Structure 1
C-alpha cells in the first residue's frame, strides 16, 4: 500500500479569515534568523555529513573542502559565497565569533568578483546580517536576492526571517507563503510550522513540522525537524514525546547540540536529573551558545549545585563582555541572564537597545522581565502584553506577566496567568515553575 502523498503547500492564511497574527520567536532561541535549514539557493542549509560524525567535525571538514575549492578557483564567486555561507553556519552553531568575520571576508570577495545579481552572496550576506542581529541589513540583502531571482525559495526564507524579527509579521507570512508555493520542501514547511506555532496553533505546527521531517533530505534537516518537534512537545507539557523525538534525531545525528539540549530538558522534566546534566554538558561542549549555557546553569542552580551553575554563568559573562566590546545587539538570553543573575538596570539598558533594533515578542518579553526586576512594573506590563498579543502559547511569557501583575497588586490577573503557564507546561523552567506553583497557592488558587 502506498502512503498518501502530502498535500500541497499550506495556506498560511485562510483567505484572511484568521485574525491578524504575529510570527514570532519563542523560547529565547532564534529558530530561523539565519535560516537554519534551506539557506543556500540549492536548498541545503548545512553540509551533509555522515551520521556518525559530530556536527562540528563535519562542518570543519566541509569548510576545509570549500577553502580548497577557492584556492583552486580563486575567481569563482559562487565558491566564495558558499564558503561564506558555511562559515556563517559554523559561527551560529559553535559561537565562534571569528568565523563571522571570515564569513564576511569570503562573501565580500564573492561580491567583488560579481558585484551585481550575485544570488549566492546576497543570500549569504542576508544570513550573516541576521546572525549578527542586524535585521534591517538582512532585509536589504534579502530584497536584493529576491530581485535577482524572484523564483528562488531561499531568498524568501531570508526575507521572512528578517521581517519576522523586525515585527512585520503579515509581510513575513506572505514571504513564507511564497516560499512554500515555490517549493514545499523541508525549509519552507518548517517556517510554515513556525508561523502556526506562534499563533498558538500547536496542532497545525506539529503537522507541518512532521511534513518537514518527511521532506528532509539531509541529516542536518532531519535533526532540525526532530529538535523542533521535541520543543513543541516539551512546551505543551509532554516530555515523553519530546524525549522520543530527541532520541530519534540523535540516532540519526549523534552529538547534535540542539538535540542534546532538547533531550536534557525532557529528562529534567521527567525528574531524570543525572541524565539531564549529562546531556547539557555534552550540548555546551559542542556549542557553548548562550541559550544552552543559561538553561544548564539554571538547572544546576535548581539542583543546589551552585558552583557548577556559576561555571556556566562565568562563560555567559565572558561572552557578554565580548558582545559589548563588539557593539553587537544583546540577545534575549543575555538580557534575561543579566536581569536574573546580574544587574537588572543594565538588563533594561540592553533590552531598550535590543527592542529598537528588533521589535519582536521575545525581545518584548525579555524587556518586560528586565523592567520588572528593576522595579518598573507598570512599564513592564506594557511589554509583557506585547509579548503575548499574538496568542503565542508560552508558559514562560505567561509566568513573567503573572509575576508583574502580582507586583502591581492585580491578584486575579496574576493567578490567571500563572495557572495558565502551569497548565501549558508544568516544568517550563527549573527555577520559576516551582515559584509559579507557590505563588498560585499564596494567591488563593490551586496550581
Structure 2
C-alpha cells in the first residue's frame, strides 16, 4: 500500500465491526493506544486511596468487585456523580453479563476471567468512568491464579497498570508477557507504551520496529505516535491512516483511531479534512466524546469560542473526563464567563476523585492544573515528584512550566530544552517554551515557538492561546 492510499480508503471504511471473536478483538483493542486507557486526566487530589481488592493469596474471587460493585470508588462529596447517568456500550455490557454467567457456571475458567478483565477495561473506555478498574484488577488476578504464565493475562494486567499510570510496573509486567510468548504482538505493543512513558525512546523505537512486522493497527498506531514525538507530523499522519485502514474491531477503538487521524490533520492545517474524519469517527461511535472535543478545538482555533463552548459542553455531557471539563472551563474563561469557568473547574476537581479512588496516578496532570489554575508552589511540588518517577518529554515540560510559574527562569529553560529534545511540535510544549523564552528576554526564540504553537493548533487551550497572543503582542 502506498502512502497515498489510506486517505482514499478512509472514506470507504465500513462502520460495521469485522466478524471476529470478541475476546480477540478486545486484546487488539486494549493494545492500540499510546496509553491504554486513553483517559487523560489533567487534575488530581492527593488524599484519596485506591479501592481495596481481595488479598493476592486468596483463591476465591471477590464477586462484588467482579460485578463492578465498587461504591467506595465514587467520591463522597455529597453530590451525585454525573457519571451515574451514563451506561457503557451495549455490546460491552452484554459481554460482561455473559462472562459473569460463564464464571458462575465454570468458576475455574481462567480464560473467562481474563476476558472479563479486558472487557472491564473496555467499559472504562466506553464510559470514561474508571470505577471499572478494580473489577478488571480482580478479574486479571483470578485469571493469573489459574494460569500464572498466560501472556494475554499479563498483557491485560499491563494494560491496567498503564491505565493507572504505573509505568515502571507496567514495563516489568509487559516484559514478562513478552518472555512468556515472544511472538505476542499485544505484549510488544504494551511494552512500547511503557517505554515511551518512561522516556526510554530509543528502546521504544526498537520494540516498535519488531511490532511493525505484524503490519497491524497496534503497530501503525505506535509508529505514528513515535513519529509525532519526534516532530514528523506528516509521517505520523501516514502511519495513523494505515492504522485506521486496518481497523480494530471495537467501535470505540475504531472511533478513537479516526479521531487521532483528525487531530493530525488539524495539526497540519487540514481543517476541512479533520472535520470529515471526526465525523467518520462519530459514524463508528455516535456521540463519541473525543471526536466532539476535536471539533471543539477546531472551532476555538478558528476563533469561534461560542461554538467551542457548545461542543465542549456536549463532549462533557457524554464523556465527562477532566481533560474536557478543563478545556470547557478555559473556553468559558476566554469568553469572559468566569462563573461558568469556575463551575467547570470545580466539576473537574470532583471528577478526578474517581480516578484517584481507582488508583490512577495523576502527578503530571495535577502539576499542570495547579500551574495554570491553582497554586504555583503546589505545581512545583507535584512536577518534581513526577519528574523523579520518569524522565519523559512531558514530565520535563511540566517541571519547566512549574519552575516558570515560580520565577525560576533558568531552571525552566533547562527543562524546556529537555522537553523539546526529540523535536516535538506539540503546541503545548512550544507555547511553554515560548513563554519561558520571552520571560528571559529571548525575543527571537519566543516568537518562533509561540507562532509555531498557534500555527499548529490555536485550539490547544483557549486561555493558553490567548496568553500566547498577548506575549507576541508584547514582543513588538
TM-score tier after normalising by the smaller chain length: 0.7 to 0.9
Between stretches 298-307 and 412-421, larger displacement belongs to: 412-421
Q: Do structure 1's residue 129 and structure 2's residue 161 form an aligned pair?
A: yes
Q: How does 1:372-411 map to 2 (within 5 A)?
A: 372-411=404-443
Q: Do structure 1's residue 78 and structure 2's residue 80 form an aligned pair?
A: no
User: Aligned equivalents of 1:371 and 1:57: distance in 2?
Assistant: 46
Does the Cα contact within 8 Å between 1:199 and 1:390 map onto a contact in 2? yes
Q: How does 1:22-41 map to 2 (within 5 A)?
A: 31-34=33-36
1:17 is aligned to none
User: Aligned equivalents of 2:389 and 2:266: distance in 1?
Assistant: 30
Deviation at 1:372, TM superposition (A): 1.2
2:368 is aligned to 336
1:25 is aligned to none
2:62 is aligned to none
Does the Cα contact within 8 Å between 1:235 and 1:424 map onto a contact in 2? yes
Between stretches 233-242 and 101-110, larger displacement belongs to: 233-242
User: Aligned equivalents of 1:401 and 1:94: distance in 2?
Assistant: 35
Does the Cα contact within 8 Å between 1:35 and 1:157 map onto a contact in 2? no
2:232 is aligned to 201
Deviation at 1:411, TM superposition (A): 2.6
1:176 is aligned to 208
Distance 1:306 1:4, change over 3 A: closer
Distance 1:102 1:263, change over 3 A: same
User: Aligned equivalents of 1:329 and 1:217: distance in 2?
Assistant: 27
1:212 is aligned to 243
Does the Cα contact within 8 Å between 2:126 and 2:252 map onto a contact in 1? no
User: Aligned equivalents of 1:35 and 1:175: distance in 2?
Assistant: 21
Distance 1:138 1:299, change over 3 A: same
Q: How does 1:23-422 map to 2 (within 5 A)?
A: 31-34=33-36, 56-92=89-125, 94-115=127-148, 117-181=149-213, 183-218=214-249, 219-320=251-352, 328-422=360-454
Deviation at 1:172, TM superposition (A): 0.7
User: Aligned equivalents of 1:422 and 1:276: distance in 2?
Assistant: 16
> 1:26-80 CA distances to partner (integer Å, 9 max, x unpaired)?
xxxx9512276xxxxxxxxxxxxxxxx9864443333223222222322111111
Q: Secondary structure at the match of 2:297?
A: helix
Distance 1:112 1:418, change over 3 A: same
> 1:300-344 CA distances to partner (integer Å, 9 max, x unpaired)?
111122222222211222345566677753254332211111111
Deviation at 1:93, TM superposition (A): 5.1
User: TM-score when scaled to structure 2?
Assistant: 0.78
User: Aligned equivalents of 1:35 and 1:74: distance in 2?
Assistant: 28
Distance 1:442 1:271, change over 3 A: closer
RMSD: 2.5
Distance 1:324 1:409, change over 3 A: farther
Deviation at 1:175, TM superposition (A): 1.4
Deviation at 1:247, TM superposition (A): 0.9
User: Aligned equivalents of 2:105 and 2:212: distance in 1?
Assistant: 36
Does the Cα contact within 8 Å between 1:220 and 1:253 map onto a contact in 2? yes
Deviation at 1:171, TM superposition (A): 0.8
User: Aligned equivalents of 2:363 and 2:398: distance in 1?
Assistant: 9
Number of aligned residue pairs: 401
Does the Cα contact within 8 Å between 2:299 and 2:459 map onto a contact in 1? no
Deviation at 1:211, TM superposition (A): 1.2
Deviation at 1:369, TM superposition (A): 1.2
Deviation at 1:94, TM superposition (A): 3.6
Distance 1:351 1:308, change over 3 A: same
Distance 1:311 1:201, change over 3 A: same
Deviation at 1:426, TM superposition (A): 3.8
Q: Secondary structure at the match of 1:431?
A: helix
Distance 1:230 1:54, change over 3 A: farther
Between stretches 407-416 and 171-180, larger displacement belongs to: 407-416
Does the Cα contact within 8 Å between 2:321 and 2:351 map onto a contact in 1? no
User: TM-score when scaled to structure 1?
Assistant: 0.83
Does the Cα contact within 8 Å between 2:88 and 2:127 map onto a contact in 1? no
Does the Cα contact within 8 Å between 1:290 and 1:334 map onto a contact in 2? no
Deviation at 1:360, TM superposition (A): 1.6
User: Aligned equivalents of 2:346 and 2:335: distance in 1?
Assistant: 18
Distance 1:426 1:95, change over 3 A: closer
Does the Cα contact within 8 Å between 2:234 and 2:268 map onto a contact in 1? no
Between stretches 134-143 and 243-252, larger displacement belongs to: 243-252
